[in-house]
């Protein structure tokens, strides 16, 4: 029985990924280079540029070392300026509200660290909706490993077969499925062209349905999967 809804954070609750790509793209342009979306997207769903290192790539292209600390400060300034304008994903707050009314427990399972996730949830006024949050700095391995989902499920006190995950990337989907959690894919502009075929249902936006209809459809599809 569907009783828990788990959300990835970056790219699902808040589109942090598009502003980050834009900031890195701007930095590359400063040096006369282009950072492709395809190359950048390899990192989505992971942690700390563990797949593609944009600093090393830029140094390789220009043929010399750079002051990475200075670049980080500049890139982060651009990023945070853009991020401050971002609002929660369209349709999300309404879904959270109706889910609470229906006694569906809510969790966040993110590869990002606790300071980042909790800070933004408080800033956006969303922290009160979630019964449990599990983050990348609380587990030994981040997505696509299922550890962060397993931790979130443990904190919620629900079994994997009772939960549904909302993800935006192949690595996140793989983590949810490895944890035996039914998974919905809702891509953002960075992940929209990626292969999200591992998910059991794909939406273009959380606002595709009215919140009541969304939760009804989730429950029906989840039941049909068993």
The residue from 10, 15, 145, 168 that is catalytic is 10
Q: What is the dihedral of CA 105, 109, 115, 117, to 10 degrees?
A: -70
Q: What is the DSSP letter of 199?
A: S
15 as an active site residue: the answer is no
Q: How far apart are CA 143 and CA 42, in angstroms?
A: 13
Q: Which of helix, strand or coil describes residue 66?
A: coil
137 as an active site residue: the answer is no
Reading the block at residue 110, the tokens are 């993110």
The residue from 8, 15, 145, 168 that is catalytic is 8
How many other β-carbons are positioned within 10 Å of the β-carbon of residue 46? 19
**Adjacent-strand bridge partners of 182:** 164
Peptide bond into 91 cis (omega under 30): no
CA atoms within 13 A on the CB side of 208: 14
Residues with a catalytic annotation lie at: 8, 10
């Amino acid at each position: 029985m569907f009783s828990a809804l788990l959300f990835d954070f970056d790219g699902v609750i808040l589109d942090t990924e598009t502003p980050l790509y834009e900031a890195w793209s701007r930095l590359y342009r400063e040096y006369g280079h282009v950072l492709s979306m395809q190359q950048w997207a390899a990192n989505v769903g992971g942690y700390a540029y563990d797949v593609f290192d944009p600093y090393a790539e830029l140094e390789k292209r220009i043929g010399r070392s750079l002051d990475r600390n200075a670049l980080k400060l500049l890139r982060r300034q651009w990023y945070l300026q853009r991020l401050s304008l971002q609002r929660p994903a369209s349709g999300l707050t309404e879904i959270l509200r109706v889910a609470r009314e229906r006694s569906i427990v809510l969790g966040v399972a993110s590869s990002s660290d606790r300071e980042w996730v909790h800070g933004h949830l408080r800033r956006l006024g969303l922290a009160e909706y979630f019964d449990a949050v599990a983050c990348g700095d609380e587990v030994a391995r981040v997505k696509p490993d299922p550890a962060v989902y397993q931790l979130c499920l443990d904190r919620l006190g629900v079994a994997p077969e009772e939960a549904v995950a909302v993800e935006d990337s192949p690595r996140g989907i793989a983590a949810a499925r490895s944890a035996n959690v039914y998974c919905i894919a809702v891509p953002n502009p960075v992940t929209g062209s990626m292969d999200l075929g591992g998910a059991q249902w794909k939406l273009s936006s959380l606002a595709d349905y009215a919140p009541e209809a969304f939760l009804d459809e989730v429950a029906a599809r989840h039941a049909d999967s068993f």
